[in-house]
A and B are shown apart, each in its own frame.
Chain A
Amino acid sequence: MKKIISTVLALSLTVGTMATATACGKDGDKFVVWTFTNELKEMIEDYYQDSVSDNTEFDIQVIGVNDLDTKLSSAWRAKKNLPDIVAIEEKYIAKYAESGMFLDIEDMLKADNEMYDYTLDAARDTQGKVMAYAWQSTPGALYYRTDMASEILGVNSPEEMQAMVSNWEDFLNVAQTLKNANTEHFSDVRILSDVAAPARAFYSERNASWVVDGKLSIESQLYDGEYSLYEIIKTLQVGNGTWGEEEDPFINETTERQTAWFTDMSQDKVFSYLLPSYSLHFDLKKYAENSTTGTTTAGKWAVCQGPSTYSDGGTWLGVIKTSKKAEKAKELIEYFTMNEDFLRAWANDKGDFMNNKSLMSEFANDATKSESFLGGQNHYKVFHQVAEQVRGNNRTPYDSKINAMFSEWAINYAKVENVSKSSAKADALAGFIEGVAAPYGSKIDTDITLPNL
């Protein structure tokens, strides 16, 4: 019996060592890529490898966004088991840009003048050096229903629509009109599906980030004023009702990316969505057809800039410092972010919005480009406009958490939950500030006073 145990142990150790031996052997061979979508995989296999003649073997691992973060951080800490290049999502780009994990990409490969500024700004480290490049740009705009616009608002083109929603005041007026509508096909139409949608736009349009000179900075347009984020969310949530008593919302009370939010795309309750460029393909086109009734809203949509200019999401490519294949990595990144043939091919095949101003401008002015889902509109026009205005220098690594906290308290304010009505705004802001202090108090000075409260 003892013999059996010792053999088992010996076997496991041998297997272990053999496995590691093979693992070590593999180290030098393949070019390792870690990413969180299948896009990069497809880009390498179907586009890049066809364009070059070398036989580099690629090892592409697709890992979920949050898990990628865990795996990458752990690997970096141990300085082993690292990839050569990695694709980072918007949520993490600030963190990794400042981590010292990437090679200074500007040194290696100068960016052409075609990249939208915000994509470069978003990937700068604390010294201001760019650490990663993006091949796509993800500006956001307002996708709206043309049939509702025409029947209720008397609007017949995206330009006319834009004139009606070019600022938040007008936007809320339209919300009111839609709510009170009672026309042949539509009644009680909500302008948005989820109430937190405007938040993204506000965060993206700030002059500076959440942290200025080490202090928490809450810009006044977020809470102070009739068309601040707080008030807009409140107006949308309360609608025709009375604040703190009953709600008759201008929105459809869904939560982003949950079933009801998707259902709204295929029905006649919601008028518009604030979404980024890629949502056209990933969300709207997929869910426009109602799988129960079989009806579809395709062709009844158009896009206009809306009351804001913002961006949401995006993917950046960085080279890990310990990579022994920096040359190859540079080649790859150059191909994906600056090679016009690739950018054009990918944009034509996928309808994606690329990080190249001239190309996007060309697309925008191309009269033959039309998207049947949008009733024949060339959406590049709108997105190109937005992309040029988006800010990239107002981000921090804490953004995803702090943004979520701010939105949650804004909603608390609107619904008078977790706050007392008489001091709702102050309570909500206090709740937010304390919420930030708890994890980040050592990094961000939260002892601030807000004017005009």
Chain B
Amino acid sequence: MALFAKKRKLNYGIYGFIFVLPFFVVFLIFQLYPILYSIILSFTNYQGFMDVKDATFTFSQYTDLIVNPRFLQSIVNTFIIWMINFVPQVVVSFLFAALFTSVNLKMKGAGVFKIVYYLPNIVTAASVAVLFKNLFNYPDGIIDKLFKAMGVFSDPTYNIVRDAWGTRILISFIQFWRYFGYTLLILAAAMMGINPTYYEAATIDGASKVKSFFSITLPLLRPIVLYTLITSLVGGLQMFEIPYLICDGGPMMAGGRWATETISVYIYHMAFEGGYTNDYALASAASVYLFLIVLVFSFITFKFFGDQAFGLEKKEKQPKKSKEKEDV
């Protein structure tokens, strides 16, 4: 039986290859070429409106960046903003996804709430930035006034975009605001795919909702949780629009550093706003560094959550399922 199964697998294997082919063909043309172009550029001194043919090879961008305080600060900023956004986002999304997909849900309006929570994600980043800037504007922004009346801001002349931590928290909050509905939808879609009979069996066995969550929902959701973590990590490390639009990476700090300049904003500044010296080589090198950082952290995340993402069969789960089958 086993041999026969193997032979069949090999025969069908070719279909797998054909199925994934379109992706890689399009990827090769429209994504790989631009990326290679940039990587090669990163090893040259290509700048401004130079002719590509005149560029010479040099490694100095890479060495310069490692000691550049502004670049290093941008890495720190990226992580700070990402963490303040991500941790609450995961907690809240999970909580509400579980709530809304709970079989015993008696709370009304889950459908409406889901729609409402996703709405922030639909609006473009540019519009979001304008709206929030408006709300937190000193001296007449609505929320700015509200917070001052409530005592959240103690100094009546406090201008949030002039304060390094204030701006960071604002940006993190905006990112949270934009994405927690998105994360919620994904987790909810995944939770809905879980066979309700598991929960029924668990309730019969006397398990509490919390216990069901941790023993059934989370493990079965592992692939999706991994997806959420990775996409959030990648998105967070590449965060660009909101920091750029709210404060252009500012306010400035001593030492030539900027408070909310994430790595992507730094890259953009170097590549497109360096006056005449649009330093593409430097920006490309910074991009390569960013890629390496993302790679390392993704690898760690994958390792932590197990190799199941790469595996075909659910080696761990199969036995469980068949057990359940027998029981029920």
Contact = CB atoms under 8 A, between A and B. Distances in A.
A362 interface: no
Interface of B: 22, 48-49, 68-70, 134, 137-140, 157, 162, 250-257, 269-270, 272-279
Judged by DSSP, the binding face of A is helix
A183 to B, nearest CB: 25
B70 A438 contact: yes
Interface in A387-421: 396-399, 401, 405, 408-409, 412, 417-419
7 contacts: A255-B138, A397-B276, A418-B252, A427-B254, A434-B255, A436-B256, A440-B277
Nearest to B139: A260
Given A408-B252, A434-B255, A435-B256, A253 B138 contact: yes
A430 B254 contact: yes
Contacts of B254: 418-419, 427, 430-431, 434
Interface stretch (A94-102, A148-156, A349-357): A94-102
A350 B274 CA distance: 35
Contact of B277 (A77, A100, A405, A443): A443
A408 B250 contact: yes
Contacts of B251: 408, 418
Given A94-B275, A255-B138, A431-B252, 10 more contacts: A5-B22, A73-B49, A73-B272, A98-B276, A100-B49, A253-B139, A396-B275, A408-B252, A435-B256, A437-B256
A70 interface: yes
A99 B252 contact: no
A254 B273 CA distance: 26
Interface string A110-128: 0000000000000000000
A69 interface: yes
User: Size class of A's contact patch?
Assistant: 35 or more
Given A258-B137, A260-B137, A73 B278 contact: yes
Q: Which of A5, A94, A434 has the most CB of B within 10 A?
A: A434
B23 to A, nearest CB: 12
B252 A397 contact: no
Contacts of A260: 137, 139-140
Given A5-B22, A405-B252, A438 B272 contact: no
Judged by DSSP, the binding face of B is mixed
Contacts of A385: none
Nearest to B49: A99
A393 to B, nearest CB: 17
Contacts of B279: 439, 442
A253 B69 contact: no
Given A260-B140, A435-B256, A440 B278 contact: no
Contact of B270 (A101, A255, A439): A439
Contacts of B255: 431, 434
Contacts of B275: 94-95, 396-399, 401, 440
A312 interface: no
Contacts of B256: 431, 434-438
A242 interface: no
Nearest to A2: B18
A438 B48 contact: no
Nearest to A415: B162
Contacts of B134: 259
A69 B272 contact: yes
Interface string A83-104: 0000000000011001111000
Given A73-B278, A408-B252, A439 B140 contact: no
A357 B252 CA distance: 42
Instruction: For the complex of A and B, list the 7 residue pairs with the smallest distance between their C-beta atoms, beginning with the closest.
Output: A434-B256, A397-B275, A438-B256, A398-B275, A438-B70, A397-B276, A99-B49
Contacts of A419: 254
B134 to A, nearest CB: 7
A440 B273 CA distance: 11
Contacts of A442: 277, 279
Nearest to A427: B254
Nearest to A399: B275
B70 A440 contact: no
A249 to B, nearest CB: 9
A438 B68 contact: yes
Contact of A77 (B49, B70, B162, B276): B49
A431 B157 CA distance: 23
A48 interface: no
B287 to A, nearest CB: 16
Interface in A117-146: none
A41 to B, nearest CB: 23
B285 to A, nearest CB: 13
Interface in A257-294: 258-260, 263
A47 interface: no
Contact of B69 (A70, A100, A438): A438
Contacts of A445: none
Interface in A43-95: 69-70, 73, 76-77, 94-95
